[in-house]
Structure 1
Amino acid sequence: MDALKAAVARRDTKAARLARSAAWDEVGKLPPYLTTQVRSDLYKCKLLIRGIEQARRAERRP
């Protein structure tokens, strides 16, 4: 999660997506009742990553 949050803060979407995927792999190994907050945080990070990507696409449009 720390690597994911750092990548989002740097606006490095490639690293953020890789870190998010790795975090999901780890979360997937645990029972859902232990990971409710982490799953919520991962979803919020997904939205942040999408927002960064959308902003970049909007900047490139003429």
Structure 2
Amino acid sequence: MNCAHQTIFITGPTSGVSLQMASRLHQLGNQIIACGNSRQPLDSAREVVQKTLGGILLIPTS
């Protein structure tokens, strides 16, 4: 399975394994689109990812 240069949609990437998976997949050259239930945790996750990797699209669903 090719895990590089894809667009990947991840739900609930605000902490733990999901956040690490989003970060690692982004490092491999993927575009990450992620959604979660609340904006504040998504904003915190965005800050972590942007500081370390440079970009991720996070979408609140509520």
TM score, norm. by length of structure 2: 0.39
Structure with greater helix share of residues? 1
Name whichever structure is richer in strand by fraction: 2
Give 1 or 2 for the bigger CA radius of gyration.
Answer: 1
Question: Structure 1 length as normaliser, TM-score?
Answer: 0.39
